[in-house]
Structure 1
Amino acid sequence: MKLPDLEAWAVFASVVEHRSFSAAAQAIGVNKATVSKAIARLEARLGQSLFHRTSRRLALTEAGKPLAEHARRLLADAHAAEEAARDGAQSPGGRIRVAAPLGFGIANVAPLLARFLAEHPRVEIDLQLSDVRIDIVAEGVDVALRIADLPDSSLRARRLGDIRTHLVAAPDYLAAYGTPSHPFELARHRLLTYSNTPGSWRFHSGSGEEASIHPHGPLAANSGEALVPSLLAGLGIARLPGFIIGPHLRSGALVELLPDWPAPAIGLHLLTPPGRLRPARVEALIAFLGEHLRDPCEGA
């Protein structure tokens, strides 16, 4: 049986990542001719072209697109195997790229990473905070935290806990517009919405009754924190997680509405790229976050 050309697959993965033969050559420390020969060998072996080449642009062919993911996995597994061997003789080290939602990342993840770094001085962390859902494979993310119902995918996912959301408004708003006693009454109110999770607001009563509405109102934002000033100013009602509005609930600046109609909990998931091998530093961070984010925060 002829062995696979692992060097060519690794070069292919580097070209995909860096989007040019020259940049890939520089990244892996070889000349451009070596990269070109490796890609030519792989194309000859596979019997198909992997790239469309012009003087200004390099793009994957339709055949090359699915193979790029295989190449990424092969290269990642090879790196993980080497790092696991090295880390067996010393404490984990190296860079970990972490992605998390903005508000949750600031309130819950950043403090934990400070503790993790203190315990693992050889580790470096690149923390990316955004409420925009990213492709963690394409962005080279090692660990991502996501608050959402997850669709089926090739990503490895672990549910860490549940995030609770609260329907809230300021006392001034309720004095002006009244307090709803049933979810269907929300259709007559000014609703502030989180645009990254479009769709219905669903509610479940203690007696088993269900209700849903399609929220609309004067403000939609792709950041939950961006809704808080309008909430506090008495401009509407919003449904937000406890890690964003918890302090305002405790101070009385916001009031929880329809407590007998709680919204379904949203899962807090830890995601990693596909593949069985992970560097020791990534395994250590996954274990650490899994332990400390099982119960993220009161009301979250």
Structure 2
Amino acid sequence: MRLPDLEAWAIFAAVVEHRSFSGAAEAIGLSKATVSKAIGRLEAHLGQSLFHRTSRRLALTEAGRPLADHAARIVAEAHAAEEAARDAASAPAGRIRLAAPMAFGIANVAPLVADFLLAHPGIEIDLHLSDARVDIVAEGFDIALRIADLPDSSLRARRLCSIAGHIVATPAYLAKHGEPTHPGQLGEHRLLGYSNVTGPWRFQGADGTEVSVRVAGPLTANSGDAMLPALLAGLGITRLPGFIVGAHLESGALAAILRDWTPAPVGLHLLTPPSPLRPARVEALIAFLADRLRDPCAARAA
């Protein structure tokens, strides 16, 4: 049996990451000729080209695109295996890349990161806050927190808690347009949508009745914070979690409606790359976040 050319796969991953042969060569400390030979060797073994090459541009072929993910995973698993061996003989140390949604990350994750770093002085965390959906494998994240209904994927996912949503509007909007008392009446109103949670809004009544409402209105955004100005300006009704609208509900700037109906909660998930091999430092942060976000998360969302 012929063994896989792991060096060529690792070099292929480096070329994809740095988008050039010369950039990959400089990053991994090899000559450009060595990098080129490794790619040629891998292409010959696979029987297909991995890159379109011109004097100005390097792009993956149709065959190369899916193989780039495989290459990234091969390299990640090799690094994880090496780090696991080192970690077994020492306290967890090194860098962790963590992604989280913007508003939730500021309110809930950033304070926990500080606590974790105080307890683990040998660990560094690169915290990336964005409401855009990151590609964990391609962008090199060790952990991502995501508030969403997750589609099937190869990622490893763990549900930490449910995020309750509030249906809210300004008192001025409700005075002008009327306050709906049944989810079915929302179709008569202007609804502001959150694009990271797809599909209709779903509700359950006290008697178990289920109702779905299609979201349509003047604004759809991938950030709950970005929806607030339009909401506070009285442009419509929306569904947002307590960690975004809680202060506005307390001040009276917003009012919660349809309190007799329970919006379907959205899960907070912890995602990791598909490999079961993880450095001890990553395992430590996973355990810490799973413990600290389980109950406090529910409390903050209330």
Same-fold call, TM cutoff 0.5: yes
Tell me the equivalent position of 1:39: 39
| Residue identity matched to 2:130 | S
> What TM-score do the two structures reach when normalised by structure 2?
0.93
Tell me the equivalent position of 1:61: 61
Tell me the equivalent position of 1:81: 81
Deviation digits for residues 196-241 of structure 1 (CA, Å, limit 9, x no counterpart)? 3344222111112122222333433321112223333444321101
The 8 Å contact of residues 162 and 298 in structure 2, kept in 1 or not, is answered as no
Distance in 2 of aligned mates of 1:37 and 1:270: 40
| Residue identity matched to 1:213 | V
Q: For the structure 1 residues 89 and 31, does the alpha-carbon distance in structure 2 shift closer, same or farther, using more than 3 Å as the test?
A: same
Tell me the equivalent position of 2:236: 236
Q: For the structure 1 residues 173 and 158, does the alpha-carbon distance in structure 2 shift closer, same or farther, using more than 3 Å as the test?
A: same
Count of aligned positions = 300
The 8 Å contact of residues 242 and 298 in structure 1, kept in 2 or not, is answered as no
Tell me the equivalent position of 1:262: 262
Distance in 2 of aligned mates of 1:53 and 1:78: 28
Which 5+ residue runs of structure 1 have no aligned equivalent? none
The 8 Å contact of residues 99 and 128 in structure 2, kept in 1 or not, is answered as yes
Report the identity percentage.
Answer: 70
Distance in 1 of aligned mates of 2:116 and 2:184: 46
Give the secondary structure class of the aligned counterpart of 1:262.
strand
Deviation digits for residues 93-119 of structure 1 (CA, Å, limit 9, x no counterpart)? 222111111111111111111111111
Distance in 2 of aligned mates of 1:67 and 1:180: 52
Tell me the equivalent position of 2:204: 204
Tell me the equivalent position of 2:7: 7
Distance in 1 of aligned mates of 2:204 and 2:132: 28
Distance in 2 of aligned mates of 1:62 and 1:195: 29
Aligned-pair distance for 1:44? 2.5
Give the secondary structure class of the aligned counterpart of 1:23.
helix
> What TM-score do the two structures reach when normalised by structure 1?
0.93
Tell me the equivalent position of 1:290: 290
Distance in 2 of aligned mates of 1:215 and 1:64: 39
Distance in 2 of aligned mates of 1:150 and 1:8: 34
| Residue identity matched to 1:140 | G
Q: Which moved more, 1:88-97 or 1:254-263?
A: 88-97
Which structure 2 residues correspond to residues 84-163 of structure 1 after superposition, within 5 A? 84-163=84-163
| Residue identity matched to 1:167 | I
| Residue identity matched to 2:107 | A
Distance in 1 of aligned mates of 2:21 and 2:240: 47
Deviation digits for residues 113-155 of structure 1 (CA, Å, limit 9, x no counterpart)? 1111111222222211111112221211111111111111111
| Residue identity matched to 1:156 | R
Give the secondary structure class of the aligned counterpart of 1:294.
helix
| Residue identity matched to 1:270 | L
1:215 pairs with 2:251:
no
The 8 Å contact of residues 20 and 58 in structure 1, kept in 2 or not, is answered as yes
The 8 Å contact of residues 149 and 197 in structure 2, kept in 1 or not, is answered as no
The 8 Å contact of residues 165 and 299 in structure 1, kept in 2 or not, is answered as no
Aligned-pair distance for 1:167? 0.5
Which 5+ residue runs of structure 2 have no aligned equivalent? none
Distance in 1 of aligned mates of 2:198 and 2:290: 28
Q: Which moved more, 1:249-258 or 1:107-116?
A: 249-258
| Residue identity matched to 1:187 | G
Give the secondary structure class of the aligned counterpart of 2:277.
coil
1:23 pairs with 2:23:
yes
Aligned-pair distance for 1:269? 0.6
Give the secondary structure class of the aligned counterpart of 2:38.
helix
Aligned-pair distance for 1:263? 0.8
Q: For the structure 1 residues 94 and 57, does the alpha-carbon distance in structure 2 shift closer, same or farther, using more than 3 Å as the test?
A: same
Deviation digits for residues 34-84 of structure 1 (CA, Å, limit 9, x no counterpart)? 111222222222333222222112222233222222211111111111111
| Residue identity matched to 2:260 | D
The 8 Å contact of residues 243 and 297 in structure 1, kept in 2 or not, is answered as no
The 8 Å contact of residues 158 and 269 in structure 1, kept in 2 or not, is answered as yes
